[in-house]
Amino acid sequence: MLIALIGTVTAIQMRSVRHEYAILIGGATAALLLIEGIVRFTGLSNAISAICNEYSIPADMLTTVVKILGIAYLTDFGVNIAKDAGQAAIAGALETGGRILILTCALPALVALLETGASLIRSAAL
């Protein structure tokens, strides 16, 4: 969190001098925080993999969840940078694109869930 504090204070100070530099400092700070988060995610990923192995959850489901989380975080990151730069239209388009990508990634899992539900209903009816 020290990186965020230093980046925020520096960006605020630079805003009065050069607005462009303040945006670059904000983006660089956000990128550093994203990299730190990715490094910390590795430990979480190993824990989730262990849980999936213990409960026999298919690896492709875990991959889908990780993809969706990655898309959500990267989309949020991009939207916030676009909003900070004063580009609300780009932020809106990026947000819509992220939602479409998340829906695209989640569709196979949704189909599998519906097929499982339908097979349970069929077997209960017999």
pLDDT of residue 94 exceeding 90? yes
Residue 57: the pLDDT is 79
Which residues does 72 contact at the CB level (< 8 Å), separation at least 6? 98, 102
pLDDT: is 102 or 77 the higher one? 102
The pTM of the full predicted model, rounded to 2 decimals, is 0.63
State the Cα–Cα distance between residues 67 and 82, nearest whole angstrom.
Answer: 22
Determine the average pLDDT of the residues in 14-23: 86
How much of the chain exceeds pLDDT 90, in percent? 18
Residue 96: the pLDDT is 95
Q: Cβ distance 45 to 103 under 8 Å?
A: no
Residue 37: the pLDDT is 78
Q: DSSP states of 24-37 as a string?
A: HHHHHHHHHHHHHH
